[in-house]
Every structure is written in structure tokens, then in C-alpha cells.
Structure 1
Amino acid sequence: MANAQVFSGWLSQALSEWPQSLDLKICYMQSDGQRYVVEGLGQLADDIGDTFIGREDELIFRNLHWAINVAIHGLAKYTTRICLADLRGEPVQDIFNAKLRSCIDDLKKEGEEIPALLCEYIINNTSAP
């Protein structure tokens, strides 16, 4: 299966675990002025991601939910409500790939094995780590 299809399937699964829409009105500008912080969004992403702890796909989905969280925070600067079905996959995948690079570096430094599912994704994704 092509890597774009693999990521698309993961993203579809991940988005199905989020509410269909989010109210982004309760937020504040970060002190550096770079992004809005949406109250409760980080906790929501953690709660969803935590359901994957101990699973074979933990590294994939915890980081994918983190990437969705980052993408939504970026959108909060421009909108007060988002329908998650309208979220573009490519920017989320860019955030996800960057986070995976960091995770892989950490695993290598600690001498830990990179999970097989992640290795397959990396091998099939020329822009991945």
C-alpha cells in the first residue's frame, strides 16, 4: 500500500476519535504572539492519545494526535470553530513526520528499538526520517 494511503488511513482513524467539531473561542494568545492556546485542547489530545499506551501502534497514534492538536492550535488564530473533517491531511502529515524524526532520534540515543510499524512507514516515505 502506498505510504500516502497508509497515512490517510491512520488520519481517518485518528480524526474519528476526536469530536466532529471544536469550538475554538475559549483561547488566548501565547506570550510570543505566535499562536493561540485553546483551553482544554492539549488535554483532549492527551486523553485521546493515552488510549494507545501499550499498543503496538502507540508511537504512531500518540504522535498523530499530537500533530492534529498542533494543526488545530495553528488554525485558532483564524477561526473560532473547526469541523475536523475539513482538516487537510498534508499539513498534519508534515507535523507528524517532523515529530517522528525527533522520536526516532530519541530512540536511537537511548539505544531502543524502533517499532516495526514505524520502520515500514519510514522506509516507504522518502520525506520521513
Structure 2
Amino acid sequence: MNYKFDNLLKIALKDWPVDIDLSEIHYSKNDPSKYTVKGLGIMSDLISEKYIGSPDEVIFRNLHQSIYAVLHAAAPNVWAIKISNIRHASVRNRFEKHLKIGVENSEIGYSREDILLCSKYFHENSD
């Protein structure tokens, strides 16, 4: 597989609906800076579940979590978003940060294969 970020993101974005509804936000009563977007977390979980047990699980589950985070951050500012309109750089920054944390922190539990795959990813994207 080609582990260039743009290729991985292209694959991952196909897993998401074209249009994402972000209209129903529920703010925390204790901290109005915290909120949930109805259905977004469940959607993300269902999308990334298909990668559990796959050789590329560490890549695609982290990538989908990063897509979710970008969508979640956009929610207070938009009613809906086309998945093709998310900024690739925002997803990539979050994605690579999560991979590095997983590789560097043994408590996260990445397997040897996961760490090797992350190393392969960073090697192919060192440009």
C-alpha cells in the first residue's frame, strides 16, 4: 500500500458521507466550551470499526479520529460541511501528532507491528 498521507486521506474520506450534519450541538452545562455534536461520535466509531484487526488499523483508526476532531472543531461555526471541504493540513497535523504519541508512549499499547507501520508512514512522508 502507498502510505503517502494524501493517498491515505483519499481512502479514508471515501468512508465518510459526502455531507455531514453538524447542526445539533449540545453544550455542557458546567463548561460551555465543551460540547457534543449529535451523531458525529457514533458515525466516527462506526466508520473506524471496520479497520479493527486489519494490518492498517493503527493508521486508519487514527486517521478517522483526526477527521472526527476536525469536524467536531468546525461544528460551532457551521450547520453542515462537505467532507471534501475539510482542510487536509488540519487532519494531517492531528494525525501525525497522535501517531507520534502512540509510538513514544508505551502505555498506549502500540504493538511492534504498529510501531513499524508508523515508522514506514513517517519515512514515506518525510518530504
TM class by shorter chain equals: 0.7 to 0.9
Unaligned runs of at least 5 residues, structure 1: none
* Distance change (3 Å), C-alpha of 1:26 and 1:56: same
Q: Counterparts of 2:42 and 2:48 in 1: how far apart (Å)? A: 10
Moved over 6 A (4+): none
Give the 3-state SS of the residue equivalent to 1:37 in structure 2.
strand
Partner of 2:60: 61
Q: Counterparts of 1:120 and 1:94 in 2: how far apart (Å)? A: 17
Partners of 1:45 and 1:69 within 8 A in 2: yes
Q: Which amino acid aligns with 2:20?
A: L
Q: What is the CA deviation profile of residues 4-26 of structure 1, one whole-angstrom value per residue up to 9, with x for unaligned ones?
A: xx111111111110000011111
Higher relative contact order (CA 8 A, sep 6+): 2
Alignment of 1:1-129 (within 5 A): 6-30=4-28, 31-107=30-106, 112-115=111-114, 116-126=116-126
With normalisation by structure 1, the TM-score equals 0.83
Matched positions, count: 124
Partners of 1:104 and 1:114 within 8 A in 2: no
Partners of 1:24 and 1:81 within 8 A in 2: yes
**Percentage identity across aligned positions?**
30
Partners of 1:63 and 1:100 within 8 A in 2: yes
Partners of 1:35 and 1:74 within 8 A in 2: no
**CA apart distance, 1:125:** 4.0
* Distance change (3 Å), C-alpha of 1:50 and 1:94: same
With normalisation by structure 2, the TM-score equals 0.84
* Distance change (3 Å), C-alpha of 1:34 and 1:99: farther
Q: Which amino acid aligns with 1:28?
A: H
Unaligned runs of at least 5 residues, structure 2: none
**CA apart distance, 1:78:** 0.6
RMSD across aligned positions (CA)? 2.5
Deviates more, 1:98-107 or 1:17-26: 98-107
